[in-house]
Chain A
Amino acid sequence: MGNSMKINLKVWRQKNQNTSGSFETYSVEASPDMSFLEMFDVLNEQLIEEGKEPVAFDHDCREGICGMCSMVINGRPHGPKQGVTTCQLHMRSFKDGDTVVVEPWRSNAFPIVKDLSVDRGAFDRIISSGGFVSVNTGSAVDANSILIPKETADTAFEAATCIGCGACVSACKNASAMLFVGAKVTQLSELPQGKVERESRVVAMVNQMDAEGFGACSNTGACAAECPKEIPLSVIANLNREYYKAKLNGK
């Protein structure tokens, strides 16, 4: 560990869903090489030693692919850097003596479980409403029997990189989930296996999205700008097209 840095933290503490939270101030000695979550590990060690309750926060893979880490850092989901998750944000992005404000995702559809941890079950329920393909099980068909143009595969893959972290919801002024739903709908509707159910899927997923209490889209572009996987705004335009087409066909 090289030169250490002092970070002043203002962290949202909330006991559970039914209580109101408030900010607590802490001071942490961190290394510039630490990830943001490792800095929180240091803070929690410190709190445990002092006999205090550690800060609850979500994390799993810590390599930017699971979509669990979810912190709004100085007003921005996943912090100030573009295209990274909180776990891949390093303390070298901050200066010695900085005050950093850390809040949970805030949206009615994502109730706070504790401190910085929120319940993103709403996303799971949107997926179970239609974000799947129904296929008969059996032996795998030959890969070359269904040809997929490279461009189509690329569009589907780009959308499929969505890790469902919820940064789009947390960044949106309307707490809208359209970038997430748009990515899932695009990923499936582009490919031959997913095309079959495209109309019933998009209507079911949009209905579930509305029912969960997410807002409408104002096209501000905040979601795409904050998305750690850089999902483009074009997936929302595609979601709109898919939905209107399904509605025209009486779905």
Chain B
Amino acid sequence: MSFLFSSSLGRKLVMAVTGVSLIAFLLVHCLINAMVFFNDGGATFNVAAEFMSANWFIRTMEIGLFAGLLLHIAQGLWLVGDNQKKRKSRYQINGGSANSTWYSRSMGLLGTIILIFLVLHLKHFWVVSRFEIPHGITEEHTLFHEMIEIFENPIAVIVYVLGCISLSYHLLHGFSSAFQTLGVNHKSYTPLIKSLGVGFSIVVPLIFAAIPVVMHLGLIK
């Protein structure tokens, strides 16, 4: 199995497999978050959030998720660093814009922005609900209340929106790229995967980004 960390193709396989699992996680995360749009004071959302934290199966999955995320980050940074060393003398004129999209060439940068956002995001919600630092989630102060409180701050809202924009561009390339790496390139399925990828990359980050904005504007209470 050492080829997964030594060969260029093996390392790409790790990126694709962890990437696809992170996409699956995003879908679940997004569906649960979208429950705040019921505008029922967070009642439905809190039930779902409670279920996700009290369930042993999901807690086990969480360990796998973090392992996958760390692997994606470490392998990604290592690949970006390695790839940059393959061309020591730079081109005077870079014609990249004529043959590829800017975001496909900036996955490392976009990923780093998402990573910085993630540190803040985990501190805001995950650390609070798992480790009760600085305070825990209670019947009176639910996760929904915590969200309302955090998104009162306009800077937090801006950071979350920027994080979602980076996520969107990261997915615009990453979604279909993962399938290509996994060897799925088919006359009729590939256009379908590409359209699905574009839809996912726009809709999911848009739902994520809408929550801080509507909460800040007081449209959801």
Contact = CB atoms under 8 A, between A and B. Distances in A.
A240 B95 contact: no
Contacts of B95: 72, 74-76, 171
B157 interface: no
Contacts of B83: 173-176, 215-216, 218
Given A101-B92, A106-B89, 7 more contacts: A103-B91, A108-B86, A176-B83, A219-B176, A220-B101, A220-B105, A239-B9
Q: Which bucket holds chain A's interface residue count?
A: 35 or more
Contacts of A75: 91-96, 98
A240 B92 contact: no
A180 B176 CA distance: 21
B73 to A, nearest CB: 16
Contact of B8 (A101, A103, A206, A225): A206
B80 to A, nearest CB: 9
A221 B90 contact: no
Contacts of A123: none
A233 B91 contact: no
Given A75-B95, A101-B93, A106-B89, A221 B100 contact: yes
Contacts of A241: 183
B104 interface: yes
- Shortest 5 CB-CB distances between A and B: which pairs? A75-B95, A237-B185, A75-B93, A241-B183, A225-B99
A173 B103 CA distance: 12
B185 A216 contact: no
Interface residues of B, number: 40
B11 interface: yes
- Majority SS at the chain A contact face: mixed
A60 B173 CA distance: 38
A101 B94 CA distance: 11
Contacts of B93: 72, 74-75, 101, 103
Given A171-B99, A217-B8, A226-B99, A244 B183 contact: yes
Interface of A: 10, 12, 21, 23, 72, 74-76, 80, 101, 103, 106-109, 112, 171, 173-176, 178, 206-207, 209-210, 213-222, 225-226, 233-234, 236-241, 243-244, 247
A184 B1 CA distance: 25
A221 B92 contact: no
B104 A219 contact: yes
B185 A238 contact: yes
Contacts of B94: 75
Q: Which of B8, B11, B177, B180 has the most CB of A within 10 A?
A: B8
Contacts of A218: 83, 104-105, 107, 177
A23 B92 contact: yes
A248 to B, nearest CB: 11
A213 B107 CA distance: 21
A221 B176 CA distance: 12
B112 interface: no
Given A74-B95, A103-B91, A210 B7 contact: yes
B57 interface: no
